[in-house]
């Protein structure tokens, strides 16, 4: 059992949470940093096809959600609700995909992907081939909305957990 687990009330034999040199989310922010708390950070992902795309990334190395200490899990759920709510209010997407895959990067991180029926990939995943381009007018509107989202996220995240 790790010291972190003991201090935070965990009961599992977790693997080491020390940063790993072979993990891109240990060696970099994983995107453009928007907010950092004690356990989690929020970064924006620059993708011209998906304005407003963010990731919620654990600040320590850990592969599986069940390996998180209870306070980390509790903060995750508070942050997830806060991010999704702000995304819905600011971007007005038709759907928000929240995904944790970790096949390439086994470090706890969650993708928050706003989706519209006219986005480049719809109805497929954003990792598939693009089907269409957004009009310049739609792109400008969504970029402006994403800028507002990124400006509000630090306040919303801090309020959610403190």
User: What pLDDT is recorded for position 14?
Assistant: 55
Nearest 5°: phi and psi at 113?
-120, 105
CB 2 within 8 A of CB 120: no
User: What pLDDT is recorded for position 72?
Assistant: 97
User: What pLDDT is recorded for position 19?
Assistant: 84
User: What pLDDT is recorded for position 11?
Assistant: 52
- Per-residue DSSP letters for 83-108? HHHHHHHHH--SEEEEE---SS--S-
DSSP 48: T
User: What pLDDT is recorded for position 102?
Assistant: 80
User: What pLDDT is recorded for position 1?
Assistant: 45
CATH 2.40.160.210 applies to domain 20-161: no
User: What pLDDT is recorded for position 54?
Assistant: 98
- Each residue's pLDDT, cut to its tens digit, for the chain (162 residues) gives 455 555 555 555 555 677 888 899 998 999 999 999 999 999 999 999 999 999 999 999 999 999 999 999 999 999 999 999 999 999 999 999 999 988 889 999 999 999 999 999 999 999 999 999 999 999 999 999 999 999 999 999 999 998
Report the candidate in 103, 29, 31, 25 with the shortest Cα–Cα distance to residue 61.
25
Could you tell me the two tokens for 2? Answer: 């790790």
């Amino acid at each position: 059992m790790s010291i972190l687990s003991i201090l935070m009330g965990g009961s599992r034999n977790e693997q080491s949470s020390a940063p790993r040199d072979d993990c891109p989310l240990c060696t970099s922010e994983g995107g453009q940093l928007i907010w950092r708390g004690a356990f989690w950070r929020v970064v924006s992902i620059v993708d011209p096809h998906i304005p407003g795309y963010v990731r919620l990334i654990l600040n320590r190395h850990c592969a599986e959600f069940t390996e998180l200490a209870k306070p980390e899990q509790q903060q995750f759920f508070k942050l997830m609700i806060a991010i999704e709510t702000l995304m819905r209010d600011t971007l007005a997407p038709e759907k928000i995909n929240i995904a944790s895959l970790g096949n390439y990067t086994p470090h706890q991180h969650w993708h928050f992907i706003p989706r519209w029926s006219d986005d480049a990939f719809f109805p497929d995943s954003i990792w598939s081939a693009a089907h269409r381009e957004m009009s310049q007018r739609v792109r400008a509107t969504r970029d402006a909305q994403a800028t507002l989202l990124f400006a509000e996220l630090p306040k919303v995240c801090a309020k959610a957990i403190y």
